[in-house]
A and B are shown apart, each in its own frame.
Chain A
Amino acid sequence: MSTLITNIQRYSIHDGGGIRTAVFFKGCPLNCRWCHNPETMAFAAETGSDGRTAGKTYDVNELVRIAMRDGIFYNMSGGGVTITGGEPLAQDMGYLVTFLRLLKQNGVDVACDTCGDVPWENFQAVLPYINVFLYDMKTASAELHREFTGKGNERILDNLKKLGRVAKVWLRVPVIGGVNDGAEMAAMIDTAMTHAPSVTGGAAREAATRMVSLLPYHATGTGKWAEFGKKPPCDGFYTPSPERMLEIKTDWEKAGFIVD
C-alpha cells in the first residue's frame, strides 16, 4: 500500500502548539458525514471535478525535507509537524514510522491528529515519536457514532483509555449542531472523565490530559463533497450558537478540563 498525501499545509496554527506544518494523509476508517476534508476519506487517489488530483506519493526523505523547511518557525513558536488526514495511523506504518523517526532525528515536535479507530499496535508503533495526540471524540453513544460515522466507538474509547496512560492526549470534540450539541454533550463529558486518562503521570501529563478543543461545525466542507463526486451530507447539521458554545465550554471546564 503506498501512502498518499493530499496536502502539506504550512503555517497551520490550530493543530497543536505554535506554528506547524500539517501533513494530510489520505484515507480514513471512519466515514463522518460532516467531514470537512472529504478528499481525505478514501484511501485511493481521486480526481476532483476541477481536474486536481487528491493524493500524491512522496519519497520519505523528500517529505522530511519539505517538513523541515519551516524549522525556524517551529523553533521560534514551539511548533512542529502535525500528522493528520484522513487518518495518519491507518497508513503504511513502515513509511509513517520512518517519517516520524527522521523528524525526531531533526528534533521536530510531532503532534498526531487521530480518530482513534485503528489497531492499538499502530499507536504503540508511533508512541516514541509523538509528543501529543489530538484525539477526536465525536459521540459517547455507540449507536450515534455508528449512525454518523459508519462505525461504533468501542475501539476508539478503548484506545483512548490505554493511550492516556502512556502519552499526552488532547481531546478534540467537533460540536455538530443536531448531533452532539445537546444532551449528548453531557454524556461525552462523563465518558471523557471515565476514559480520559488518569492523572497519575506527573504534572505535565496532567495538564495535557485535561485539555480539550471544542470545534464548532462549519459547512465549509460541503463544496468539496460535490467536487469529489460524493453526495453532500444533507443531515441538517448546523453551527451551534456562540451562546451554546459558551455553555458547553463551561460544562467541560466544570469537569476539570482546560478548554482551548
Chain B
Amino acid sequence: MNTRIKALRGQSVTTAPRLSLERALLETEAYEMYEGRCSVPELRAFTLLHIMKHKKINIYPGELIVGEKGDAPQTAPTFPELICHSLEDMRVMDARELISFKVAEGDFAIQQERIAPFWEGRCMRKKIMEAVSSEWKECYAAGIFTEFMEQRGPGHTVGSEIIYLNGFLDFKEKIKKTIDELDYSADMEAVAKAEQLRAMGIACDAVMELGKRYAGLAEGMAKSETDPARAAELRQIAENCAVVPAHKPRTYWQAIQMYWFVHLCVTMELNPWDAYSPGRLDQHLFPFYEKDTDEGRLDDEKALELLECLWIKFNNQPAPPKVGITLKESGTYTDFANINTGGIAPDGSDGCNPVSRLILDCMDEMKLLQPSSNVQISKKTPRWFIKRACEISRKGWGQPAFYNTEAIVQELLVAGKSLDDARRGGSSGCVETGAFGNEAYILTGYFNLPKILEITLNNGFDKVSGKQLGLKLGKAADFKTYDALLDAYKKQIAHFTDIKVRGSNIIEALYAKYMPVPFLSVITNDCIARGKDYNAGGARYNTSYLQGVGIGTVTDSLAAIKHRVFDEKDVSMDELMSALERDFEGYEELRQKLVNDSPKYGNDDDYADDLMKEVFLYYHENMTGRPNMRGGTYRVNMLPTTCHVYFGEVMMASANGRRAGKPVSEGISPTQGADVNGPTAALRSASKLDHLKTGGTLLNQKFTPSAVQGEKGLDAMADLIRAYFAMDGHHIQFNVVDRQTLIAAQENPEDYKDLIVRVAGYSDHFRNLNKELQDEIIKRTEQAL
C-alpha cells in the first residue's frame, strides 16, 4: 500500500459516520418546485438533477477517483421520501452505541422545521403502513417476517458491461429514439411510457451534470495546485470527468470513474438496500487494462492503486441509517456492494484474468469492510486463483466469500434466464443470485421458520405477542403422529406466506406508483425499450424473494420432537410443552437430552437432514412461482444478515434446547455448536438442501487457525470448497479465528479494534456487533483438527 492509499484508507476507517441532511433539503426544494407540475417519474428525475446540480462537491488530497454520496467521506444522506425520521430517531442514531450516526447540532432544527413538516405525511413508510392489512402488521410486529421496503427502496441491481460501452449521451440518444417511435395510435400505455422515458433522459442529465461539475472543479484546483505532480493528476481527473459519464470510458482509469459516478447516482436517487455493485468488475475492466497496458499508459502498480481508490470510495459510504426492526434485521454500516471476481466469461470459458489477480491483491491489502468482495469458483477456475483466495480468506476476516459459478448458472436457468444472461450473472448483497444488469431481484423480507413451528405447537397462538396469529389446527398434544404435526406446520407456513405475499404485492405496487427510479432504469437492460421503470417491471427479469431463516433451528426442533416424543416416546408432548413454556426452568435434564441426545442437522445424519430437506422443499414449493406485481414471480433463498438474532428475540424456548430469546441458526448453517462431526459432515448435510431451487443460500464455517495452517491446510481448504461446490453448494464463507481471541475481544474491545469477522453475507468489525451477535459467533462450531 503506497502512502497515498494509506492516507486515504486511514481517513476512511477513522472518520466517524455522520448524518447529512443536504440531500433531504435539496429534495424538499425540488419537490416544492416540481411536484404537481410534471409526472411522478419526471418529478423523481428532476429531484436527482437538482441534487446533482447543487450538492457540495469536493476532491480530497491524493484522490484519483472522485465523488461522495454525502458532503464528505462517511456521511450518510437521508431519504425522507422513504422514511421521515423523528427527532427521537435522530437522537437515538446520534447516541446509540452501535451503528451510530453523529447528528450536527443544527440538524435537529432543520429536520423539525423543514424536512419533517413536508415529508411526514407523504413518506413511503406511512403509505405502506396505511395500505397493508392489520394481520400483516400484527405478524410484522410479532417477528414472523420482516419487510425490506419499509425504510429502504427496492434494491438489488448489479451493473453490467453497458456503462463501459455507452456514455450517457448514447443512452439519451436511445431514449429519444424510443420516444420518437412510441405508437400513440395503438399503444394504450404510450403516454405513461413517454413520461417514464422523458424521466430517464433527465436522469442522464443528472449524472452528466455531476461529471461536468467535477471536471470544472478539478481543472480549477489544478491551476492553483503548487505541486506539479498533483497538478498533473488533477488535470487528468478533469479530463476523465470531461469524458465520463457523458461518453463511454476510453481508459482503465476512466472506466473506474464511470462506475463510481453511476454508483453515486443509483444510491442518491433512492436508497436501494444492497446499494449497487459493479458485479463482474474484473471482466468489465480487463479490456481497458489490456489496451492501456499495451499502449504503455498503465502498469500493475497503477492499476492496483486505482482499484484501491475505488475500494476506499465504497468504504466511505455507510449504509444510510436504519431504525427499528430494519436495523435489527440489518444492523451494520455495510451497504452490501458485493463484487464478484473470477467465475466464467459470457462465452463460458474461464473468466479469471490479470485484473482478477489485482482485485485479490487489492482485497488483501485494503482489508476493508466495504465493498463485500467475493470470488466465483467454477470448474474451470485455475488452482492459483482459488488458492490465492483461500490464502486471503484464512487470514480470518471473512473475505472473500466463495460462490459456485455452476450453481449460480443453473439457478438462473431454472428461474428462466437465458444461458447468456446466466453466465453474466453472479451473487450480490449477501448471497443472492441475479442476472446482472438484466434483473430486478427484489428481496421482500426474512421469514421466521422456527417461530412458525412455535405457533404451530400453540394452536396458532403467539404467546410472545399474545395474539392468535396462526390457524387453529390443534394443540401440541393433539398431534398424535409426527406427520400430523408436520402437516399442521406446513399449513401454518402457507398461511403466513399468504399474508406476507399480499403485503409485498401492495408494497411493490406503491413503489411502482410513487417511487420510480429513472436513473437505475437507464442502466438496467430493457427498461428503455419497454418504456417502463425498474420498480414497475421494466427490467428483463423481475423476481421477488422471501428469505427463509432458521432452517437449522427448526430442523433440530423437529428432529428432537420426532425422536424423543414420537419414536423413543421417553418425553411426552405435554412435558416438552411445559418445559418450553418455562424456558426449561426446572427441566435441565430434559434440555440436556434435547441438546445432546437428539439428531442434529449438520452431522451428515440422514435422520435430521431428511427433515431439513422436507421443510425446505415445502417452503420452496409453497412460494416459488407465485406471481408478483411486476410481471415476474416469487422465489426463495436462505440467508439472514443479522435477522437470526432478532428472530430469536421474539421466540420462546425451542425444542432443540435453545433458550427463549437466544438467536436462531443463521443461513443454512447448522445450529451453533450442533455440528460435531467436522467440516466435511457439515458440508454434506448442507448439500442435501437443493440449492439449485433457490436464489442463494448462506453457509458459515468457523475454523481454528491451526485447521487451515500451512500448505496442507490451504490445499484442504481449497478442496473442501471444490467438493462442496461439486455437490451443488451455492456459497461458503469462513471465519478463521479461535474462540479465545473472540472472547478476549468481547472483554477488551479496545485491544481488538481491527478484529473483523464474518457475520452473514458480509464482514463487520467485531466491536460493531451487539452482544447477542458476538455470542452467536463465539458459539458457532469451531472446526479444529
A contact set with B: CB distance below 8 Å:
9-14, 18-19, 69-70, 72-73, 75-77, 79
Contact = CB atoms under 8 A, between A and B. Distances in A.
Interface stretch (B104-112, B194-202, B421-429, B712-720): B712-720
Contacts of B713: 13
A19 B716 contact: yes
Contacts of A72: 723, 726-727
A69 B688 CA distance: 13
Contact of A13 (B681, B712, B722, B727): B712
A18 B719 contact: yes
A133 to B, nearest CB: 19
A77 B716 contact: yes
B375 to A, nearest CB: 17
Nearest to B684: A69
B439 interface: no
Nearest to B784: A11
Count class of interface residues, chain B: 10 to 19
Contact of A73 (B677, B719, B785): B719
18 contacts: A9-B678, A11-B678, A11-B720, A11-B785, A14-B712, A18-B715, A18-B716, A19-B716, A69-B680, A69-B681, A69-B684, A70-B684, A75-B723, A75-B726, A76-B722, A76-B723, A77-B716, A77-B719
A10 B785 CA distance: 9
B680 A11 contact: yes
Nearest to A9: B678
A77 B721 CA distance: 10
Interface of B (DSSP majority class): helix
Given A72-B727, A73-B680, A77-B716, 13 more contacts: A11-B678, A11-B679, A11-B720, A11-B785, A18-B715, A69-B680, A69-B681, A72-B723, A76-B719, A76-B722, A76-B726, A77-B715, A77-B723
A69 B719 contact: no
Interface in B239-258: none
Interface in B649-699: 677-681, 684
B720 A19 contact: yes
Contact of B785 (A14, A70, A75, A76): A14
Contacts of B329: none
B783 interface: yes
B720 A10 contact: no
B678 A73 contact: no
A77 B785 CA distance: 17
Nearest to A21: B680
B670 to A, nearest CB: 15
B604 interface: yes
Contacts of B715: 18, 77
Nearest to A78: B719
A132 B783 CA distance: 27
A79 to B, nearest CB: 8
Contacts of A11: 678-680, 716, 720, 783, 785
A79 B718 CA distance: 13
A69 B687 CA distance: 12
Nearest to A260: B712
Nearest to B687: A72
Interface of B: 604, 677-681, 684, 712-713, 715-716, 719-720, 722-723, 726-727, 783, 785
A70 B677 CA distance: 12
A73 B717 CA distance: 11
B785 A19 contact: no
Contacts of B684: 69-70
A14 B710 CA distance: 11
Contacts of A12: 785
Contacts of A76: 719, 722-723, 726
A260 to B, nearest CB: 9
Given A72-B727, A76-B726, A10 B719 contact: no
Contacts of B726: 72, 75-76
B701 to A, nearest CB: 11
Nearest to A8: B677
Given A11-B783, A13-B712, A14-B785, A70 B680 contact: yes
Contacts of A19: 680, 716, 719-720, 723
A249 to B, nearest CB: 14
B583 to A, nearest CB: 28
A11 B785 CA distance: 8
Given A77-B715, A77-B716, A10 B677 contact: yes
B774 to A, nearest CB: 27
Contacts of A75: 723, 726
A195 to B, nearest CB: 27
Contacts of B681: 10, 69
B680 to A, nearest CB: 5
Specify which of A9, A13, A18, A77 lies most central, judged by the most chain B CB atoms within 10 Å of its CB: A13
B712 A73 contact: no
Contacts of B604: 69
A79 B680 CA distance: 13
B709 to A, nearest CB: 10
A198 to B, nearest CB: 29
A69 B715 CA distance: 20
A9 B784 CA distance: 11
B610 to A, nearest CB: 15
A250 B677 CA distance: 37
Contacts of A18: 715-716, 719
Nearest to B727: A72
A117 B545 CA distance: 63
A75 B726 CA distance: 10
Contacts of A77: 715-716, 719, 722-723
B685 to A, nearest CB: 11
Contacts of A79: 719
B675 to A, nearest CB: 11
Nearest to B712: A13
A36 B106 CA distance: 68
A73 B783 contact: no
A98 B713 CA distance: 32
A69 B605 CA distance: 10
Contacts of A70: 680, 684
Most B CB contacts (10 A, CB to CB) among A10, A75, A79 go to A10
A62 to B, nearest CB: 14
Contacts of B785: 11-14
A146 B144 CA distance: 68
B381 to A, nearest CB: 13
A10 B604 CA distance: 11
Contacts of A10: 677-678, 680-681
Contacts of B783: 11
A13 B684 CA distance: 17
A18 B714 CA distance: 11
Contacts of B719: 18-19, 73, 76-77, 79
Contacts of B679: 11
Most-contacted residue by chain A among B684, B713, B716 (CB, 10 A): B716
Q: What are the 5 A-B residue pairs with the smallest beta carbon separation, nearest first?
A: A77-B719, A76-B723, A11-B678, A10-B678, A13-B716
A124 B678 CA distance: 34
Among A18, A19, A70, A75, find the residue whose CB has the most chain B CB atoms closer than 10 A.
A19
A216 to B, nearest CB: 14
A123 to B, nearest CB: 27
B678 to A, nearest CB: 4
Nearest to B783: A11
A203 to B, nearest CB: 22
A43 to B, nearest CB: 26
Contacts of A9: 678
A11 B681 CA distance: 9
A11 B678 CA distance: 6
A192 B716 CA distance: 30
Contacts of A13: 712-713, 716, 785
A55 to B, nearest CB: 19
Contacts of B712: 13-14
A79 B727 CA distance: 17
A76 B679 CA distance: 15
